[in-house]
Amino acid sequence: MCSTVSTLFGPPAAVCEQRRLLQALFMATQPRVALFPTPHSPTKPSASKRRLDSAAEDILNILRQARASEAHEQLAKQLDAAAGTAGGWTAALAERLVPAVEYALAYYRQGAGWDAVFVAAYHCSIAAVVQEFEHLVAHAEKYLLDIAVSAAVLELTALGILACLLPNVVRLLGFGGLGPPNSSSFAASWMAQHPGHVHRRAFVSFLKRLDMDWSQV
């Protein structure tokens, strides 16, 4: 059952509705965002990819279990240690964190698998998504099988959570000053995948709502 905490964008019932929508969106796009191959997969991930996946999972667990009372320095050390197992904070690790957060949106219920820090980031992110991309959310709710729109809403929510909790990761993806300034960045590829759904001006406003600035794609 959804938590009944107050939110930035509506009453508890609205929280539950948005959570159910995000879970439905994840299920609609599950083959695309699966973190790990199935046991019957004909191919096995490389050692480096396994390290990235493992580090992303560890970072996700640290974030979703973080408490508001936890010292920032202590949390930063835990996150740095987890990232260090895959070679540190890199664009490759950042790219694995996006589907990891999408996974959390579907499989961890508020009040059960998320602690205060992650819940607060979720509230900020979904509020910004609803405010800046209301048409996308409405379309996704009506047409769950429109994979492109479902993926856009789900990924926007995940990016918003990362922007709140790990802004440098979002910059490594190419949405800020630390991102690679070329067409091979995750940001450039992602925007190209959603040309008719996510307009640059709305995305800039979305980042600003989360205290981030767009510098290049």
3-class DSSP state for residue 22? helix
Helices (H), 108-184: 116-132, 134-142, 147-165, 167-170
Where in the chain are the domains? 12-33+46-209
Cα 25–Cα 27–Cα 28 angle in degrees, nearest 5: 65
pTM for this one? 0.77
CA angle 6, 10, 13 (to 5 degrees): 80
Dist CA 150 CA 30 (whole Å): 11
d(CA 133, CA 142): 15
Phi, psi of 114 (to 5 degrees): -115, 140
Per-residue pLDDT band at 44 (split at 50, 70, 90): low
Tens digits of per-residue pLDDT, 169-197? 988 988 865 444 456 788 888 888 877 77
Amino acid identity, position 23: Q
Q: 3-class DSSP state for residue 10?
A: coil
Residue 216 has pLDDT above 50, yes or no: no
Confidence of residue 4 (pLDDT cuts 50, 70, 90): very low
Give CA separation, 19 vs 46, 96, 114, 159, in Å: 34, 22, 13, 16
Q: Show the CA angle centred on residue 212, arms to residues 80 and 152, nearest 5°.
A: 90
Average pLDDT of the chain is: 75
Identity of the residue numbered 32: R
Between 179 and 85, the more confident residue is 85
At 70 the pLDDT is 79
Residue 62, pLDDT > 80, answer yes
**What integer is the mean pLDDT of 151-171?**
89
